[in-house]
Amino acid sequence: AQKITQTQPGMFVQEKEAVTLDCTYDTSDQSYGLFWYKQPSSGEMIFLIYQGSYDEQNATEGRYSLNFQKARKSANLVISASQLGDSAMYFCAMREGAGNQFYFGTGTSLTVIP
Amino acid sequence: DSGVTQTPKHLITATGQRVTLRCSPRSGDLSVYWYQQSLDQGLQFLIQYYNGEERAKGNILERFSAQQFPDLHSELNLSSLELGDSALYFCASSVGSGGLNQPQHFGDGTRLSIL
Q: Is B40 on the interface with A (CB under 8 A)?
A: no
Q: Residue A43: its chain B contacts at CB < 8 A?
A: 88, 108-109, 111
pLDDT attached to residue A99: 63
Q: Is A57 on the interface with B (CB under 8 A)?
A: no
pLDDT attached to residue A86: 98
| A9-34 residue pLDDT tens | 999 999 999 999 999 999 998 989 99
Q: What are all long-range contacts of B45-48, with beta carbons under 8 Å and residues at least 24 apart?
A: B45/A101, B45/A102, B45/A103, B45/A104, B46/B76, B47/B76, B48/A100, B48/A101, B48/B98
Q: Residue A103: its chain B contacts at CB < 8 A?
A: 45
CB B20 within 8 A of CB B64: no
Percent of chain B surpassing pLDDT 70: 99
Judge: B100–A106 Cβ closer than 8 Å, yes or no.
no
| A38-72 residue pLDDT tens | 999 988 899 999 999 999 899 999 999 999 999 99
Question: CA–CA distance from A107 to each of A61, A93, B41, B68 (Å)?
Answer: 20, 10, 12, 29
| A68-114 residue pLDDT tens | 999 999 999 999 999 999 999 999 999 887 666 789 999 999 999 99
